[in-house]
Amino acid sequence: MSYSYWLTERDIEKKYDVCVIGGGISGASTAYWLKKEDPSLKVSILEKSQIAGGASGRNAGFITSGSVEHFNRLVTVHGKERAYEIWRFSEENLGYIQQEFSSCYKEIEFVQNGTFSLASDDQEMGELKQTAQLMSSFDIPVEVVNQSDIEKRLEAKNFVGGIKYESDAEVHPVKLTKKMIEAAGAEVFEYHEVDDFVEDSTGVTILTNKAKFKAEMMVLATNAYLPLLSKYFEDKIFATKGQILVTEPTDLCMEAPCYAHFVLDYFRQLPTGHLLIGGFRQLEKETQVGYSDHTSEKIQTALADFVSKHLPKFKDLKVLHRWGGIMGFSSDGQVFVGSLPGNSRVFFLGGFTAHGIGLAFNTGKSMVDLIYGRDIPEFISARRFQS
Ligand SMILES: Cc1cc2nc3c(=O)[nH]c(=O)nc-3n(C[C@H](O)[C@H](O)[C@H](O)COP(=O)(O)OP(=O)(O)OC[C@H]3O[C@@H](n4cnc5c(N)ncnc54)[C@H](O)[C@@H]3O)c2cc1C
């Protein structure tokens, strides 16, 4: 949207040191680290719906190390050293969550029982074994499990084997996001959709559907929605839908959350006993893009079929919730942090590629490092897009 001179003449003017656009986990993380850096900063968060109304309130709540691929594939694409650097970045993310929020684990439903990756056939199991070997060579704790371990520890059937990443965790993603914002003391403006922003020598002027904000600088933390705010992101981030269903609760029987089918599908039993299961976007690649968060029959049926085949204990439970959420997939699968070319006061972070809960807190920290002129890891710098 563009605004005329006349329409920008608004009465209300709110002034901040930093306006963060987007009230998901990446905006919350940025606000948190900004406040930690300088408690005197006046920080606001402008959110077009409600806090965590985007992907941050629609995900599965896995805090998983690594990225969208098994470790062996990361090594194939990036080489051993870079793959380990990517892994370390996500481990640090978990470490920072533990360091900063250990006093409220119960409140945010943080539990650290690890995660499993399960193989449906021998080919995937071969890759998982390769992953386990590579990880062990870096002293990353990983356990190889067989079919009977999986049946006993997860009540899951028809998997040939798997591996367990010992350090992973799970959380209530909305409670975590809100906790970060509360700790940051940021002023929140919900239902303020940013339509436009203009930078000049005195700062940035930001227009929402309701008000005009002035800030020293702004941070775009809208992930999948970044291309709607600047053309710069059009070839860097792609809106991709994920779907989930949740059943009624039953007695707890799963040791930890699980991935299947090369990390594309996933399930966990919530502390309340509800089964959450998501994935299968691979079945409708053409339609699971863009900004509609409607569920589709094909994918919801595939989720139910998966439960019947692999989780028979849950197959007769009533489905209570079904939803979709929009993720921002980056062009190379890695997160990015930078400032808009030609706009020295407009910073951004994004590209979480289905792993924002596992990556955004550390990425928000790097965002603040960049703002304060410190070095950030090369593999997350948006400078990589310039060559
Ligand atoms: C079904 C599903 C399952 C997932 N499971 C996991 C998981 O288990 N573990 C994991 O690590 N990751 C998971 N993810 C990915 C994770 O949810 C995201 O990577 C993460 O939430 C991204 O956080 P964000 O704050 O960058 O984006 P978002 O949470 O999408 O936040 C961006 C916010 O910006 C707001 N916004 C957009 N445009 C504007 C505007 N113009 N003005 C104001 N506000 C605006 C949006 O309303 C939104 O609230 C999953 C995602 C989905 C959809």
Q: Mind listing the pLDDT tens digit for each residue in 326-375?
A: 999 999 999 999 999 988 999 999 999 999 999 999 999 999 999 999 99
Statement: residue 10 has pLDDT above 80: no
Model pLDDT for residues 236-252, shown as the tens digit of each residue: 999 999 999 999 999 99
Mean pLDDT of the chain: 94
User: By alpha-carbon position, which residue is closest to atom 4 of ligand 1?
Assistant: 59
Q: In CATH, what class is 13-57+174-236+332-385? A: alpha beta
Ligand 1 atom having least distance to the Cα of 64: 11
From 66, 248, 266, select the one nearest 156 (Cα to Cα): 266
Residue 194's pLDDT band (boundaries 50, 70, 90)?
A: very high
Kindly state if the Cβ of 222 falls inside 6 Å of ligand 1.
yes
**What integer is the mean pLDDT of 291-306?**
95
Model pLDDT for residues 60-103, shown as the tens digit of each residue: 999 998 877 788 898 999 999 999 999 999 999 999 999 999 99
Kindly state if the Cβ of 58 falls inside 6 Å of ligand 1.
yes
Kindly state if the Cβ of 209 falls inside 6 Å of ligand 1.
no
Given this model, what pLDDT does residue 290 score?
Answer: 87
In order of 29, 39, 55, 215, the CA distances from 186 in angstroms are: 11, 11, 20, 14
Distance 54 CA to ligand 1 centre (A): 5
Given this model, what pLDDT does residue 262 score?
Answer: 87
> Could you tell me the fold of the domain covering 115-166+237-330?
D-Amino Acid Oxidase; Chain A, domain 2 (3.30.9)
Given this model, what pLDDT does residue 11 score?
Answer: 59
Given this model, what pLDDT does residue 287 score?
Answer: 84
* Tokens 């005009």 belong to residue: 212
In the chain, domain spans: 13-57+174-236+332-385, 115-166+237-330
Statement: residue 386 has pLDDT above 90: no
Given this model, what pLDDT does residue 285 score?
Answer: 85
